[in-house]
Amino acid sequence: MFKGKKIALYVTGGIAVYKVVDLMRELIKNGAEVRVAMTPSACEFVSPLTFQVLSRHFIYLNTFEENDPEVVNHINIADWSDLALVAPASANTIAKLSAGLADNFVTSALLATTAPVFIVPAMNANMYKNTVTQENIEKLKNRGHYVMTPDKGFLAEGYEGEGRFPEKTRILDELKLAMRDQDMRLPLKGKTIIITAGGTKERIDPVRFISNDSSGKMGHALAEAAWRQGATVKLITTSQLETPGYIERLAVESAAEMYNEVHTLFKEADALVMAAAVSDYSPKNVEKKKMKKQNELTLELKKNPDILMEMGRIKAPQQCLIGFAAETDNIIEYAKEKLTAKHADLIVANDVGKTDRGFNVDSNEVTLVSHTDEPKVISLQEKSKIAREIINWLIEYYN
């Protein structure tokens, strides 16, 4: 999401400046182009040279130091940027921004910018709690700026409080969220999409279960892809894979639990993508205590609810259903049968007979089988790219 983004990073005075060096590196690593401006007090904590070497660009410090007669630097950076990131934002700079002051390079550029402004406050807990700081933050939020809440924890002053510079992953997650929400043109804006992921676990006893090889990678990649196109995503997953903070995650274990979650959420959803590998059977009786070793053991299994099929039965005409088919032979033929039998709008068929694709690996090759188009092969590539193609199909479907 940061690829090619022009980010103006405004660094103000606080001990957290040293953490912003790492944040900047991460943004650059993710493809952003970063230009840095610092207040005089920020320079007391970390030398501008550190930012200069790592951003490979000179640092803006002084409003009146104009090295190029063709441009006025603080207007230039304000106009150039797609996003203004203020990190750390001191109580002092927050107060100046709220009052509309322009008394140094940073505040002047921020007054001039029309780019979305994202503010990461970091300060002493009492400064942060002070009514005047809170009022200033409210004013900035009312003007449409995104202001993060700082972390709670051990402060530089040696005591606990709210004011710590947030963890890098939370900053990046919220930045993505703010950037996405700014973009009104995203095609899935206003749509709620349920995505299931992972193999279900069917308990035999407290320590044993029946499951399959599904890792959840495909479903998690779909969740990210749908979110990036503007959707509200609810990810129902059995997987231990991490999810970013902006995706609502509902952890389940068995097919029955997954069915209950899907059934509850389906009424309000615009689409359901069943990427989970749902076990078709589960033990008829779940033993309360760990079973003792025996020479022979027969497990009696009962059929699980077919979630996709059930939702196909109750779906409203405008709801879109996407199922997956993992097969080892006659892939297209089976996918077509499934499409009809389950009242789905799309079946994503994949060949699980090969080791380089499908279950538990990072790549996949799939064929999209729908009622309207000829089967479309999406050749072997990363699951994140396959996910984008599937979500593009959904976007086309809504069009």
Cβ proximity to ligand C5P, 128 vs 259, nearer residue = 259
CB of 394 to ligand C5P, least distance (A): 15
CB of 352 to ligand C5P, least distance (A): 11
369 lies in the site for ligand C5P, by CB under 6 A = no
Structure tokens at 124: 């002493």
Q: Which residues of 177-214 are buried (b: 16+ CB within 10 A; e: fewer)?
A: ebbbeeeeebbbeebbbbbbbbbbbbebeeeebbebeb
Nearest to 261 by CA among 244, 279, 274: 274
Give the amino acid at 361: V
E strand spans, the chain: 6-11, 33-38, 83-89, 117-121, 146-147, 151-154, 160-164, 192-197, 202-205, 208-210, 232-237, 248-251, 271-274, 281-283, 301-303, 320-327, 346-351, 363-370, 376-382
326-365 footprint of ligand C5P as x/- string (CB under 6 A): ------------x---------------------------
Q: Using CB under 6 A, which of 36, 278, 366, 368 touches ligand C5P?
A: 278
Cβ proximity to ligand C5P, 140 vs 255, nearer residue = 255
CB of 307 to ligand C5P, least distance (A): 3
Give the amino acid at 174: E
CB of 346 to ligand C5P, least distance (A): 10
Cβ proximity to ligand C5P, 188 vs 255, nearer residue = 255
Distances (CA, A) of 131 to 91, 134, 137, 299, 302: 11, 5, 10, 65, 61
Stretch that binds ligand C5P, among 45-53, 139-147, 225-233, 305-313 (CB under 6 A): 305-313
Active site residue 392: no
CB of 130 to ligand C5P, least distance (A): 53
323 lies in the site for ligand C5P, by CB under 6 A = yes
Catalytic pick among 76, 92, 130, 212: 212
Q: What is the Cβ-side half-sphere exposure of residue 329, based on CA atoms within 13 angstroms? A: 0
Distances (CA, A) of 337 to 62, 330, 370: 69, 11, 11
- The C-alpha atoms of residue 155 and residue 267 are separated, in whole angstroms, by 46
Residue 369 φ/ψ, nearest 5 degrees = -120, 115
CB of 324 to ligand C5P, least distance (A): 4
Cβ proximity to ligand C5P, 173 vs 310, nearer residue = 310
202 lies in the site for ligand C5P, by CB under 6 A = no
276 lies in the site for ligand C5P, by CB under 6 A = yes
Classify residue 100 as left (phi > 0), alpha (psi -120 to 50) or beta. Answer: left
Give me the residue label for tokens 């690829």.
Answer: 3
219 lies in the site for ligand C5P, by CB under 6 A = no
304 lies in the site for ligand C5P, by CB under 6 A = yes
Q: Which of residues 245-264 bind ligand C5P (CB under 6 A)?
A: 255
178 lies in the site for ligand C5P, by CB under 6 A = no
- The C-alpha atoms of residue 179 and residue 66 are separated, in whole angstroms, by 31
Beta bridge partners of 38: 11
377 CA to centre of own chain: 27
389 CA to centre of own chain: 17
324 lies in the site for ligand C5P, by CB under 6 A = yes
- The C-alpha atoms of residue 182 and residue 57 are separated, in whole angstroms, by 28
Cβ proximity to ligand C5P, 10 vs 266, nearer residue = 266
308 lies in the site for ligand C5P, by CB under 6 A = yes
Cβ proximity to ligand C5P, 16 vs 320, nearer residue = 320
Cβ proximity to ligand C5P, 183 vs 333, nearer residue = 333
Is there a contact between 120 and 166 (Cβ–Cβ < 8 Å)? Answer: yes
393 lies in the site for ligand C5P, by CB under 6 A = no
66 CA to centre of own chain: 40
Cβ proximity to ligand C5P, 89 vs 252, nearer residue = 252
- The C-alpha atoms of residue 379 and residue 220 are separated, in whole angstroms, by 19
157 lies in the site for ligand C5P, by CB under 6 A = no
320 lies in the site for ligand C5P, by CB under 6 A = no
274 lies in the site for ligand C5P, by CB under 6 A = yes
Q: Using CB under 6 A, which of 138, 213, 268, 280 touches ligand C5P?
A: 280
24 lies in the site for ligand C5P, by CB under 6 A = no
The set of catalytic residues is 212
Residues of the shown chain interacting with ligand C5P in the complex, contacts defined by CB under 6 A = 255, 274, 276, 278, 280, 304, 306-308, 323-325, 338
